[in-house]
Structure 1
Amino acid sequence: MKFRNDIQGLRAIAVLLVLIFHLNSSYLPGGFIGVDIFFVISGYLVSSIIIDKKGKDSFNLSGFYIGRVKRIVPAYLCFLIIIFLLGCFVYFPMDIGGLRKNIFYAAIFNSNNYLASLDTYFGASSSENPLLHTWTLAIEMQFYFILPLFLMLVNRKYYAPVLIFLIIALFGYSYYNSTFLSNKSGMYFSLAARMPEFLIGTLMAVKGSLLEVKQPRFKNLCSLGALITIVITALLLNEKSNFPGVIVLVPCISVAFILINSDSVLNKSILSNKVLVYIGELSYSIYLWHWGLMALLRYSNLRYQFTLSEVALLMIVIGVFSYLSYKYIESYFRKIQTNNLIKVISASLAILCITAYLAPKVNNAIYPIPKKYSYATFGLDSHSDTFKFPERFGDLNKKKDSILLIGDSFALMYKPVLDYIGKRHGFNFLTVTNDGTPLIPGIAREDFSNNSLFTRYQKLSKQSSALIKQSNLILISSSWRHEITSLPQAFGAFAKLLRPNQTVIILSNFPSLNKNPIKVNRGVVRNVSVDNNYVLKTRQIPDEIIRI
């Protein structure tokens, strides 16, 4: 396939949209569509290459996969190693385990499914996760595995109808899940929901010549209109939009128009200018490095916004890292022999494994923070994904009391408190708790971001339901999150099932701080030179719960 400067320019626009959005989402609320632009371009380019080689009877499946590995993996592994090393010095012990787990899933190109399964109720926030953006590369590699098999197994004359069917069906799947099942987060990271974006590019590679606008003046207007539509979409969409859903068709179809009208003035002049083409050349490395460096700085700063001087410094550092990555890794490994590629990847994975093994030790040496000060260590055998069995705490030397503590992570925090009080005042209690949602039966599937969280809730809810029937005094502690829309109804049903001899006590919500004191003070000892002023936040119990 002939090299096209305009596609490099289009890549530049895509990475600039993402870069601006990630600097501050208020600058360009819908800048995340840059990712969707990349997906359409990738589908178009890779499909064009495969179809062209198939036509010449020179396509080789293993050669295709090796080519994709050369293009993506070496720079990616270098990025993971350096970010992991930096993370050991920036992250605190309570978060380094999460980073290590994220590194593993990123390294096997499965971070999209890992991130979709996360309950971000604990740990570093999304804006502080230096590997958050790797979900796109995971989806891209998964698609690259499927695409050649599709183009080989389906007869060429059926490409277009099959592609159209898949695009419509998968967009319908995405829209239904996002709109009616409240699974927007799951769809955002889903290969099935994102695949039609790639397939729009594939469809353009197959039938683009038939859709190309022939009249030059109208072609120029269409291409310019498509670019303006992309910019408007980036300005009007935001993180609350029902995305990807159907609305993603707007930027994707706009990109498709630009791709097939390659000789328009927009393509030949604006998108093919030297600056955009050069940024497009660096776009993969820019995409790799920009978010990782921003996230580590945000974690260190304890704030989302950057100052002007930080923005300037970030642009310089991202530019340097991107240039070095492109010049000495991307460009070099595209031409390397396969045997040498295997050796380099094996060595890189070995370094990554050694780093993963040493990371907690190095991190604990840098920040010797006792676990009890940084995250929950008490009562984990009866909690959430570490659940083994209902635990009994308090005064265990006396007979078993008919007292039960249930709830979410707020209840987890009460376990050591009630254990201490129980030992002093002669009572004991059973407990089972969960992250994010209290263990009251009847919370709807729609209130969970993915199936794994709902499955965990169902499993633990069965445990709590059996214990509720056996208990005379039930203690409940919860954040009573307003986002759990079915919670009042579930709590009402729970209250109606109580026996006359059962008593329920709702433990009040304790206040939390607006920032983590350990991060503020870079340790557990108060540093008088930093801002130790905190805002106390207390979640109010919803009126519906109070009425019940």
Structure 2
Amino acid sequence: MKSHAGMRAEYRPDIDGLRAVAVLAVIAFHMSKTVLPGGYLGVDIFFCLSGYLITSIIWRETTLNSFSLARFYERRVRRIAPALLTLMAVVTVVAAIQLLPADLIGYGKSALASLGFVANVYFWRDTNYFARVAEEKPLLHLWSLGVEEQFYIFFPLLLIALKRWVPRATIAVVSTLVLLSLVANVVAVHFDGASPAFFLLPTRAWELGIGALLALIPGALSLPTATRRAASLGGAALIIFALLWREPMIGSFVPAAFPAVAGTALLIIAGTNGGAISRLLATRPFVAIGLISYSLYLWHWPVLVFSRYYLVRELSLAEFGGAFIAMIGLAYVSWRYVEQPFRGRRMSVGRVYAVTAFGAAAIAVVAAIFIITDGLPKRLQGPAATINAAVGTNYRCAVSEYRAFGASRACVLNLPEADMAKAEVVLLGNSFAQMYAPIVSGLLVETGSTGILVPANGCLPTPTLNLSPACAKVAAINLEALEAMPNVRLVILGPTYHDPILVDPLGTVAPHSTDALRQALDALIGRLHARGVEVALIGPIAIPYYDVASEVSRRLAFGHEITSPLFEPEARFMARYGELIDHFASRRDVAFIRPDHVQCAAGECAFVRNDRSLFADSGHLAVAALPEFAPAFRSALERTKQWEPRKIEPAEVRADGIVSPGN
């Protein structure tokens, strides 16, 4: 496709071939994360292609003074909305039949977010894309559409403004935005922001922007044949490397997506004269998959989600084969009978908009009903219903309560003025510390104290030994920031105890991980004591290592045998953690909090108790279970000088007995 004045757009079959590579890579990753570990980067290939194609259209038409925003958005609606709404209508019906209440509520919220072009923002706050729980969300894959839709809204306006007022600065401005977005992505990952870096447009715009630059730079696609063939080989090699890469970063400052995007850019530059690679991409099988790639992307994920959701297990090889055939069939039907008719000019724009508006409104109403009715709970009765109520209910700090802190961020806990310097108590750890935040916040209210939560997710709070050198650095910076706070009198440490291998800041592996963890915590406690700070330590609990609330409730609802354990034998738990527990319980200078005293009884450390799940997922406690654990915190903290109870007004306490974190 050429993007200069006087040139008409030319169809490039190799780009459809690239689309095929992208969608097949994504499907392979979603079927098995081990077969093609970087397959999710197929989305990044799509982003680069979209940036190139959309910018080519806009810049060519603005150069010819024929660009119309109304016509541009009409084309986007015709391209995206009919197939998307068809998918959402079908998935909504299936969700109403199959999804259990907690999941149906989440589905309703995700459907409304998808209709509002903010699916990426919703899923940023809702889930980790790579977590097992993500496999139960039928619309998760629409996060990428959210990114593209936001790009389609803002980027044309930028190009029009640049073309009208400063056309010579266009490439410089877009290049600057690409660089800023890439830097923002790297910085976000380094500062505990891998999730927003993954989901949000500002940290993804560089991928679309690189494609856009190819459409804007004169001569970018007019290189000599030898250069194009070299670019083709280099691009293919980079994409293959990216799809096989297993880590989120390559080194310290290169996102894993960079080789995929760079490779895509090189293949765009190579064009149809890129030699064997270009000819391969332009072959009929690749082009055929590329033509239906949008519909195939839409349908592949719900097919996998609903299959796994009902079976409550991974699919067999034969079942994967059947699922793939179903995806292809549904995609072809969608492309042939939905995409093509709506994109054709025979259907008037008025009718397109009318059908789109009606479909979106109908889906929105049904989604709202799912939310308002708490997921149509009357469809489910007994233990399946009560256990399912815990799904995904572990505490997460509200975005509005986060403040910059150290190498990551802190969450306000009973800090009315949100002045970090006034915090007297710090809950320090990771997501396993965060899950206890409602208990700690309630105790802060009782004592009239102020506090913050510092959750460096995926890391330990110990700077001497941690899960990686990067985590050790984060812990060190956070600790220095904590030590600089003038009013801190108590630090509550909430580490994980099930982490396997610890390393020092240089990456040297520490032998005997249990002993190493004890030594690392002792060193941290000693450093805090040297600063005159009291320390409380939250002890270990037995965790299920599977999504107990979701899996057990589905097995009960669908009549499957329950094969996963509902408890861990206390003897096994103590064999693993007994020495650690004895060590810290014997220290008189540490308030040691024993959640295992609540969880374990009669020789069993429960995951499910009285037909209710204590856990919201594979390891985090559900908020509804926290009142059971609050007395363990209170009794331990009574040993500290920080504990000075005051009377709580009834209005301050929620129905479950926990005071909510926040201002």
TM-score when normalising by structure 2: 0.63
CA deviation vs aligned residue, 1:97-116 (integer Å, no higher than 9, x gap)? 11211111111111111222
Alignment correspondent of 1:375: 389
Query: 2: distance between equivalents of 1:80 and 1:541?
Result: 51
Pairwise CA RMSD of aligned residues?
4.5
Query: 1: distance between equivalents of 2:560 and 2:524?
Result: 47
Query: 1: distance between equivalents of 2:251 and 2:200?
Result: 14
Query: 2: distance between equivalents of 1:475 and 1:210?
Result: 57
* Equivalent of 1:159 in 140, 152, 170: 170
Which AA in structure 1 matches 2:339? E
Query: 2: distance between equivalents of 1:250 and 1:34?
Result: 11
Query: 2: distance between equivalents of 1:443 and 1:542?
Result: 27
Alignment correspondent of 1:198: 208
Secondary structure of the corresponding residue to residue 293 of structure 2: helix
Query: 2: distance between equivalents of 1:541 and 1:344?
Result: 64
Between 537-546 and 280-289, the greater mean CA deviation after superposition: 537-546
Q: Is the 8 A contact 2:107 2:367 kept in 1?
A: no
Residues 296-335 of structure 1: pairs in structure 2 closer than 5 A: 296-303=306-313, 305-335=314-344
**Percent of matched pairs sharing the same residue:** 25
Which AA in structure 1 matches 2:563? D
Give the drift of 1:408.
5.5
Query: 2: distance between equivalents of 1:187 and 1:301?
Result: 33
Query: 2: distance between equivalents of 1:131 and 1:541?
Result: 43
Unpaired runs of at least 5, structure 1: 391-404, 416-428, 434-438, 449-465
2:299 pairs with 1:292: no
Alignment correspondent of 1:343: 354
Which AA in structure 2 matches 1:32? Y
Q: Is the 8 A contact 2:101 2:377 kept in 1?
A: yes
* Equivalent of 2:239 in 191, 206, 230: 230
2:284 pairs with 1:271: no
Alignment correspondent of 2:17: 9
- 1:241–1:340: structure 2 CA closer, same or farther, 3 Å change rule? same
The number of aligned residues is 489
Alignment correspondent of 1:250: 259
Which AA in structure 2 matches 1:229? L
- 1:524–1:269: structure 2 CA closer, same or farther, 3 Å change rule? closer
Secondary structure of the corresponding residue to residue 100 of structure 1: helix
Give the drift of 1:242.
7.2
* Equivalent of 1:32 in 36, 40, 44: 40
Query: 2: distance between equivalents of 1:107 and 1:243?
Result: 37
2:97 pairs with 1:89: yes
Which AA in structure 1 matches 2:388? S
- 1:348–1:526: structure 2 CA closer, same or farther, 3 Å change rule? closer
Q: Is the 8 A contact 2:127 2:133 kept in 1?
A: no
* Equivalent of 2:379 in 345, 366, 378: 366
2:86 pairs with 1:78: yes
2:364 pairs with 1:356: no
2:205 pairs with 1:189: no
Alignment correspondent of 2:548: 516
Query: 1: distance between equivalents of 2:132 and 2:104?
Result: 9
Give the drift of 1:35.
0.9
- 1:532–1:40: structure 2 CA closer, same or farther, 3 Å change rule? closer
Q: Is the 8 A contact 1:11 1:283 kept in 2?
A: yes
2:72 pairs with 1:59: no
Which AA in structure 1 matches 2:381? P
- 1:238–1:21: structure 2 CA closer, same or farther, 3 Å change rule? farther
2:249 pairs with 1:217: no
- 1:527–1:106: structure 2 CA closer, same or farther, 3 Å change rule? closer
* Equivalent of 1:19 in 27, 37, 44: 27
Give the drift of 1:353.
2.5
Give the drift of 1:366.
3.0
CA deviation vs aligned residue, 1:239-273 (integer Å, no higher than 9, x gap)? 57679954433222221121122232246521111
* Equivalent of 2:189 in 150, 159, 178: 178
Give the drift of 1:42.
0.6
- 1:535–1:10: structure 2 CA closer, same or farther, 3 Å change rule? farther
Query: 1: distance between equivalents of 2:138 and 2:73?
Result: 27
CA deviation vs aligned residue, 1:151-206 (integer Å, no higher than 9, x gap)? 11113322222222222222122112212x13122111121111111111111111
Query: 1: distance between equivalents of 2:539 and 2:255?
Result: 44
User: Per chain length, whose mean CA-contact separation is higher, i.e. which structure has more relative contact order (CA < 8 Å, sep 6+)?
Assistant: 1
Give the drift of 1:375.
3.1
Secondary structure of the corresponding residue to residue 125 of structure 1: helix
- 1:33–1:503: structure 2 CA closer, same or farther, 3 Å change rule? closer
Q: Is the 8 A contact 2:242 2:256 kept in 1?
A: no
Residues 445-460 of structure 1: pairs in structure 2 closer than 5 A: none
Q: Is the 8 A contact 1:184 1:243 kept in 2?
A: no
Compare the two structures and name the one with the higher helix fraction: 1
Secondary structure of the corresponding residue to residue 219 of structure 2: helix
Secondary structure of the corresponding residue to residue 315 of structure 2: coil
- 1:447–1:30: structure 2 CA closer, same or farther, 3 Å change rule? closer
Query: 1: distance between equivalents of 2:267 and 2:543?
Result: 53
Q: Is the 8 A contact 1:43 1:200 kept in 2?
A: yes
Between 82-91 and 233-242, the greater mean CA deviation after superposition: 233-242
Alignment correspondent of 1:103: 111
Query: 1: distance between equivalents of 2:252 and 2:78?
Result: 32
Between 291-300 and 241-250, the greater mean CA deviation after superposition: 241-250
Alignment correspondent of 1:398: none
CA deviation vs aligned residue, 1:1-50 (integer Å, no higher than 9, x gap)? 12211111111111111111111110111112211111111111111111
Alignment correspondent of 1:531: 563
Q: Is the 8 A contact 2:434 2:455 kept in 1?
A: no
Q: Is the 8 A contact 2:542 2:568 kept in 1?
A: no
Alignment correspondent of 1:462: none
Unpaired runs of at least 5, structure 2: 1-8, 402-412, 415-426, 460-486, 506-519, 591-663
